[in-house]
A = this chain, B = another copy of it.
């Protein structure tokens, strides 16, 4: 039966409900014999405490809220994978909330907090600075622990885990310059994401340092639109290196370039900044900066558990390592 309550267990085990509660929450505080007896009854009846009642009484729901822009985005799904695995290990339930930059942020935060989550993982990277401030201030005031997961926001009080996309992009740009490319473009998105802003900053730095003009070409997230953009792009652009914030953009570009008879990597070196599984399905295979998104999810969830358990945390800003994977779309690395 689904409706077995703590009273049923107490009755069958001939103890008070307080004792049943104790064997579930503080087993060491109850006599081993009665503990065994209660445990047996619990198993027999298939009893599981009502999580809602427990949440109300204890003021802890063992549930975390995940705030995101869109579940179906590949990066979000990867993050969720990592979060899920760690959450399961620590026995936290997961509630997901999504909202866009066009919605009332305060209202959205209220909704999340009304659900009494014990902690928040914030994955939405489509908000501007002001919106982020509203969201973060609201969460801070609520005292609910939060960790930014793959999102950048400049506030030392707020823990975050991400990758140093700026350094990664700086470095890959620099390497490309070192093996002789001059006209290097960065392909970014028309829409603003805090991550892509980091990537752009790294690219700009490297170019400036080399005394070259940074050239950012913005395209859509939609692969079919990208192709058209690139057709246009080719007509009057000199380019020998391309770095794309998304693998799909890089692949789209390579396809169009090859249609125009351009040799890749000989004439243009191309790099993707994600290393999705499609990087090895493209022709040529795509050289990438590998950014372990699953790990970001896992580590941020782990960090959040520490805050929820009030454990000591050394550094509340975690940057995970990235690496470069040389494939066929570049002449060197």
Q: Smallest CB–CB gap between A146 and chain B, Å?
A: 13
A77 vs B84: C-alpha distance in the bound complex, in angstroms?
13
Tell me the chain A residues, 24-81 only, with Cβ under 8 Å from chain B.
46, 48-53, 55-56, 61, 63, 70-74, 76-78, 80-81
Contact of A71 with B61 at beta-carbon distance under 8 Å, contacts A52-B116, A56-B52, A115-B93 already known: no
Main secondary structure of the interface of A (DSSP, over half): helix
- Contact partner of A46 (CB less than 8 A), chosen from B88, B110, B277, B282, is B110
Q: Is B88 within 8 A of A77, CB to CB?
A: no
Q: Which of B52, B72, B251 contacts A77 (CB 8 A)?
A: B72
Beta-carbon contact of B294 and A111 below 8 Å: no
Check if A74 sits within 8 Å of B77, measured CB to CB: yes
- B48 and A111 form a contact (CB under 8 A): yes
- In the complex, what distance in Å separates the CA atom of A116 from the CA atom of B94? 14
CA distance A61 to B51 in the complex (A): 11
Query: Taking the complex as formed, is A141 at the interface, i.e. its CB lies under 8 A from any CB of chain B?
Result: yes
Least CB separation from A283: chain B residue: B283
Give chain B residues whose Cβ lies under 8 Å from the Cβ of A315.
none
Report whether A281 and B278 are in contact in the complex, using a CB–CB cutoff of 8 Å.
yes
Q: Can you show 28 pairs from A to B with CB atoms below 8 A apart?
A: A1-B141, A2-B113, A2-B143, A2-B144, A48-B111, A49-B114, A50-B56, A50-B114, A50-B116, A51-B114, A52-B55, A52-B56, A52-B115, A53-B56, A70-B81, A71-B81, A71-B84, A72-B80, A77-B77, A84-B96, A93-B97, A94-B96, A95-B95, A223-B277, A224-B280, A227-B280, A248-B277, A278-B278
